[in-house]
Structure 1
Amino acid sequence: MLISGSPAPDLELEDTTGQAWRLFQHRGVHNVLLYFMRSTSCPLCNRHVRDLAARQDRFDEDNIHVAVVAPEGRSPALAWKTERGIPFPVLSGAAASPHESIGLTRKVFGALQQSGTVLVDLDGIVRHAHGATLPLNSYDRKGLLAAIDSVLGRPIG
């Protein structure tokens, strides 16, 4: 898993329309929050995405570009995005697993995909990285919001 304070890797993903999405293209433009879902069928992951969507106005005001990363591939990700009305870009790996590229692997005999959140600041530095095998623990809202406050120079609390 990525480490807070380290440079973010140059992730190269694709959105649901097949367009390339590269993390480095946001450097100097937006802070980026990536939520890596265990799967689009995971109820807890869907709850976490709904929480992110409920905070969309705050993220927009704070210049935070949010994207959801799904492990299933572009077509299933598009179907899920459309069915659920997801307001954020939904990304997948063009060739390889985007989850593995940041250290979120499959655990328990390869059956459970880890999920997690990553916040990258304007300079391309990881400011929050949190992952877990159980989806209940993969979204640390309190830690994430504190990291966002820190990135924006606001008092944490």
Structure 2
Amino acid sequence: MLETGSPAPEVVLENTDGQAVRLSDHRGNHAVLIYFMRSTSCPVCNRHVQDLVRCRDELAADGVQVFVAVPEDRQEAAAWKARRGVPFPVLIGRRGTPHEMIGLSRKVFGALQQSGSILIDSQGVVRHAHGATMPTSGYDKKGIIAAVQGLRAGASG
């Protein structure tokens, strides 16, 4: 798992249109928040995405671009995005899952997908990193808010 204060790794994912999405493409422009769903069928994860949708205007006002990363393939991810009306870009892995690319999978009696979130500032530094095996603990809203407030304080200081 990524650590707060560390440089963000060069991660290349794909959106549901098959276009490459590089975290480094956002450096110098805005912060990036990626919420990693355990699966698109997880009801808890879906509630967390809906909370992010409710917060999207505030996050955008703070210069934060939200992405949702899912472990499913492009076709399933696109269908889920359309069915749920998700306004954020939905990302999938190019090889393996996005979760594996940042260390959000555990080997316990096979592979166990985790959920979590990372916030990377506009300079490419991880400002929030959280992961959990239980979906109920995978969305650290208080931690995300505190990290976004830290971005605000850094911008004004």
TM-score by length of 1: 0.95
Matched, 1:55 2:55: yes
Contact 1:107 1:133 in 2 (8 A): no
Partner of residue 20, structure 1: 20
Partner of residue 68, structure 1: 68
Q: CA RMSD in A?
A: 1.1
1:108 deviates by: 3.2
Return structure 1 stretches of 4+ with deviation > 4 angstroms. none
CA offset digits 1:111-145 (Å, max 9, x no partner): 53111000000110000000000010111101110
Separation (CA, whole Å) in 1 of partners of 2:14 and 2:56:
21
1:85 deviates by: 0.1
Partner of residue 43, structure 1: 43
CA offset digits 1:43-71 (Å, max 9, x no partner): 00000000000001111111100000000
**One-letter code of the match for 2:15?**
D
**One-letter code of the match for 2:149?**
D
Separation (CA, whole Å) in 1 of partners of 2:79 and 2:28:
32
Matched, 1:77 2:77: yes
TM-score by length of 2: 0.95
Contact 2:81 2:90 in 1 (8 A): yes
The unaligned stretches of length 5 or more in structure 1 are none
**One-letter code of the match for 2:41?**
S
Separation (CA, whole Å) in 2 of partners of 1:112 and 1:41:
15
Normalized per residue, which structure has more helix? 2
